[in-house]
Homo-oligomer: A and B are copies of this chain.
Amino acid sequence: MARAKLSGFPEFLPAGRVVEQRVLAAIAETFELHGFGSIETRALETMESLTRKGEIDKEVYAVKRIHAAADEPAEFGLHFDLTVPFARYVLENAGQLQFPFRRYQIQKAWRGERPQEGRYREFLQADVDVVGQGSLAAHHDVELPLVTLAALEKLHVDFSVPTVTMSVNNRKLSEGFYRGLGVAEPMAVLQRVDKLDKIGPEKVAELLRSELGMSAAAAASCLKLAEIRTPDTSFVDRVRAIGVTHPLLDAGLAELADVVEAAAKLVPGRLVADLKIARGLDYYTGTVYETVMDSMESMGSISSGGRYDSLASDGKNTYPGVGLSIGVSRILVPLIGRGALDASRPVPSCVLVAVDSEETRLAANETAAKLRARGIAAEVSPDAAKYGKQIRYADRRGIPYVWFSPGQVKDIRSGEQVPADPESWMPAAADLRPRVLSAGSGR
C-alpha cells in the first residue's frame, strides 16, 4: 500500500540516486579542476535577507518554531537560490577569504510554488561563481561559461546526457543599443523584448510603441537586434549594420565577442551569441547566460547566470561577481524518471558472501572484510538459506558475484564458478562499482 507521494518534491529510488551521485561527483570534479572550492551555507536565511529583492519573496517558504506564537512573524525562510546565501557568506567572511574568491556550491533550494513540469518545490542546484572585492576582471565572464560547459560536456561524454547550447547576451550591449536609440529607460524595453518567445515580434513592437512611446522605426530596430543569433562573432557586424551607436554598446559588443570567440575555440558549437536573452533577475549588469539541452529545449533553461556588479556590498566594499547555476534536478528528474539514465545495479555491493549456516557467519564476515580492505564492496547474506535462494537474493539486487566458502566465486550472470582467494581476487573492472547506463548505451 504505497502512500501518495508529495508533488514537487522529487526523491529518487536507490538506482536513481546512484546516477545522481555520479553526476554530482562529475560536476564537483570539473569545478575543482578549475580551482573552485566547495562551500555550503545553511538552508535558512533571515527573512530580511531573503525578501530584499522584491518580487522573489512571493515564493519563499517561511520557517518558524512550531511553538512560536501564531502572530509572531517568521524569523527565517528557506533559501530559494544559492546566490543570496553566497552574497551573505561573502559579507560575513570577507576578512578571511582571498579575492577573487572562487567557489562552487551544490545544495538544495526551495520555492513555495505550484508544482508543474520542470518546476519543483525542492530542487538541487550546482552553482559556480567568482567574486572580486571592489573589482573583477572581464575575462571571468569568459571563464565561467566555459567551466560550466566543461561540466555539462563531461555529463554528455561520461553519461550520455544530451548536449547543450548556451545562449549568451550582454546587458551593456542591449542597454547601450537602446540608449543609442534615445531610450531613457532601457530596462523597460528589455522587459518587453523578453516576451518575444511568448507573444511574438508584432506584439512586442506594439508594446514598445504603445507603452513606451517608441517610434515604429526604433521599435523595429529593437526587434532587429533581438533577432540576431550567431555561433561566432559575426553578430558584431550585424549589430553595427543596424546603425545605432553608443559607447556602452561598444563595450558590450567587445565583451560578448570575447566570450563567443573563446568558446568557439574551446567548445565549438556549444555557445551562441543570442541578443534577445534578457534573464529576469535585475541584478545582472553585464554578460547573461542561459542554456538548453539539445532536443529537450521545452524543459527550459538548465543553466543560467550572469555578471553582477553589485551583488553584495558592505559599507566599505562592493563585491562584483559572475557565475552560473546548473539546475541538477531539472536535468536529472526527467532523465531518470523516464529511464533514460539508470544504474547497472541499485546497490554498491559487488559481492554477496554466502552463509552456510549461522554458525559460520563470522567466517563469512571475515571474507567480506578481506574484500572490503581491497576496495571491493561486499555484503554477507542475511540468512543461511539454500544456495539457490542466496543466489536469487544477489540476482534481485544486481550483485554480480556470489562468494562461497572455502574460496569459490561465481559470476551469477555467466554461471562460471572459479576458485578464489579473498586476499587477491579482483572482479572485472566494470563490475567494481555500479555504472551509469543511458538508454542509448549497451546494457
Q: Knowing A61-B66, A348-B35 touch, does A122 contact B43 (C-beta < 8 A)?
A: yes
A-side interface mostly:
mixed
Q: Which residues of B contact A122 (CB under 8 A)?
A: 42-44
Residues facing B in A78-96 (CB within 8 A) are 78, 88-89, 91-96
Which among B36, B57, B76 is the interface contact of A348 at CB below 8 angstroms?
B36
Asked if A13 is at the interface of the complex by the 8 Å CB criterion, the answer is yes
Flag if B5 contacts A369 (CB, 8 Å).
no
Q: Which residues of B contact A375 (CB under 8 A)?
A: 33
Flag if A43 contacts B46 (CB, 8 Å).
no
Flag if B63 contacts A33 (CB, 8 Å).
no
Asked if A246 is at the interface of the complex by the 8 Å CB criterion, the answer is no
Q: Which residues of B contact A37 (CB under 8 A)?
A: 14, 17-18, 346-348
Q: Which residues of B contact A103 (CB under 8 A)?
A: 14
Q: Knowing A13-B93, A93-B2 touch, does A67 contact B58 (C-beta < 8 A)?
A: yes
A interface size (C-beta, 8 A): 96
Q: Knowing A66-B77, A77-B66, A262-B362 touch, does A11 contact B35 (C-beta < 8 A)?
A: no
Task: Determine how close the nearest CB of chain B comes to the CB of A168; give it in whole angstroms.
Answer: 18
Q: Which residues of B contact A17 (CB under 8 A)?
A: 37-40
Asked if A238 is at the interface of the complex by the 8 Å CB criterion, the answer is no
Asked if A299 is at the interface of the complex by the 8 Å CB criterion, the answer is no
Report Cα–Cα, A266/B375, bound state, in Å.
18
Flag if A9 contacts B78 (CB, 8 Å).
no
Report Cα–Cα, A380/B51, bound state, in Å.
36
Q: Which residues of B contact A396 (CB under 8 A)?
A: 98
Report Cα–Cα, A96/B43, bound state, in Å.
31
Report Cα–Cα, A109/B265, bound state, in Å.
45
Flag if A94 contacts B139 (CB, 8 Å).
no
Chain B residue at minimal CB-CB distance from A104: B348
Flag if B91 contacts A42 (CB, 8 Å).
no
Flag if A66 contacts B57 (CB, 8 Å).
yes
Flag if A78 contacts B58 (CB, 8 Å).
no
Report Cα–Cα, A392/B362, bound state, in Å.
57
In the complex, 21 of the A-B residue pairs with CB atoms within 8 angstroms, ordered by the A residue number, are A5-B92, A6-B44, A11-B39, A11-B42, A13-B96, A14-B38, A17-B37, A32-B348, A33-B372, A34-B379, A43-B122, A51-B66, A58-B67, A59-B65, A60-B66, A61-B63, A61-B66, A62-B63, A64-B112, A98-B346, A100-B382
- Chain A residues near B (Cβ < 8 Å): 1-3, 5-6, 9, 11-14, 17-18, 20-21, 32-44, 46-47, 51, 57-67, 70-71, 74, 76-78, 88-89, 91-98, 100, 102-103, 108, 110, 112, 121-122, 137, 139-140, 143, 262, 265-266, 314-316, 346-349, 358, 361-362, 365, 368-369, 372, 375-380, 382-383, 396-397
